[in-house]
Amino acid sequence: MIVDCAYYEHGVRRPQKLTLEEAAACPRHGGSYVWIELDDPSQELMAEVSRHFGLHELAVEDAAVAHQRPKVEAYDDFHFIVYRTAKYDSANREVIFGELDLFLGVGFVIAVRHDEAGDYERARRHLEQYPHLARTGPAAAVWAILDVVIDEYEPVVGGLESDIEDTERAIFSGRPDLTERIYELKQEITDFYRAVHPLLPPLDALERGLFAPVDRRLLRYFRDLNDHVRRIDEELLGQRDQLTAALEAHLSLINIRQNQISAQQNDIVRRLTIVASVFLPLTFITGFFGQNFGWLVDEIGGATAFWAAGIGSLFVSLLLLLIWFRRSRYL
């Protein structure tokens, strides 16, 4: 749907909201241009916008369907710009991504927003704080939109950094169930990096003045955006390396704990083996002398024979076991 359609005459916005027909009929030259904001538009609406502003069908098709990769494409009379927005959800501790598609042409800028794609009103207010830039043309609106989006990147970087630090503390506190969380964080950082990094080449080109629609007075402002994006890009690379090190530390601690558990289990098995080895001959001897066949009853009838044959055999078996354990270094 159309959330806003405004006409800027020499950098000053006219108060009334226009229809697409009225916007297309406005004079668009110099510092006068149309700024249109669309939120998840239908294909029919995109076709109508294309008809009024002469947009290429391939760019319109890309803008109507979300999940495009960040890019800048030049057409005959306009540029098609795609970049990802990001917002940190502190309640769920996750990054929410959106998509923003821009058509920058002579006398117009059309923003197509998908999902959580930033605050267009904030971008408008931001531009109107710089009337000398607003008078330069529609590229100033692109700068304002992009500046707001990049400002929203900063809390995302801070939120991810906080999550990484919490994860590192949890790793060394002994929590064993952090592998999935580390991979989730790494995936978020990778997705964020893929949203940020493709902005660098077009911003470098803008800084060098390779885009004709951009007034030279805007170049220093795009240079500032380029510096911010480059710093965020470097921080994301550092965070990715930090998470890789955290995952390695986590797996190492898991291996250490598993080795400790294995050692404890081996010690328990050793003790049980000793106990079983002791009671096996004792059980055999007591079972043998507990039988009531004739010879045993006739031959072992007194206390001396009982102590010598019965109890003595028990002590002898224990002594032999002790010698065997010591020789095999089991004790």
Provide DSSP, 79-108. Answer: EEEEEEEEEEETTTTEEEEEEEEEEEETTE
Q: Residue 234: its pLDDT value, please? A: 92
Q: Residue 161: its pLDDT value, please? A: 92
Please give the C-alpha separations between residue 56 and each of 76, 80, 102, 160, in angstroms, as whole numbers. 9, 10, 13, 39
Distance of CA 240 to the CA centre of its chain: 9
Q: What span, in angstroms and rounded, lies between the C-alpha atoms of 106 and 2?
A: 21
* C-alpha Rg value of the chain to the nearest Å: 39
Q: Which amino acid is at 318?
A: L
3-state secondary structure 119-177: CHHHHHHHHHCCHHHHCCCHHHHHHHHHHHHHHHHHHHHHHHHHHHHHHHHHHHCCCCC
What crossing angle do the helices spanning 312-327 and 219-289 adopt, rounded to 10°? 150
Q: What span, in angstroms and rounded, lies between the C-alpha atoms of 330 and 280?
A: 17
CATH number of 2-255: 3.30.460.20
To which residue do tokens 């991810």 refer? 160
Give the tokens for residue 191: 């997705």
What does each of the 331 residues of the chain score in pLDDT, given as a tens digit? Answer: 788 888 888 888 888 888 888 888 888 877 888 999 888 888 888 889 888 888 888 888 888 877 777 888 888 888 888 888 888 888 888 888 888 899 988 889 999 988 776 778 888 889 989 888 888 888 889 899 989 988 889 999 999 999 999 988 888 887 777 888 888 898 999 989 988 888 888 888 777 766 666 777 888 888 888 899 999 999 999 999 998 888 888 888 888 888 888 888 888 887 777 777 777 777 776 766 666 666 666 666 666 666 666 677 777 777 777 777 777 776 6
Q: Residue 309: its pLDDT value, please? A: 66
Q: What is the pTM of this model?
A: 0.75
| Domain-wise residue ranges, the chain | 2-255, 270-327
Q: Residue 331: its pLDDT value, please? A: 62
What crossing angle do the helices spanning 120-128 and 138-172 adopt, rounded to 10°? 120
In what side-by-side order are the strands of the sheet with 33-39? 12-13, 2-9, 33-39, 108-115, 94-105, 78-89, 71-74
Give the tokens for residue 101: 């598609």
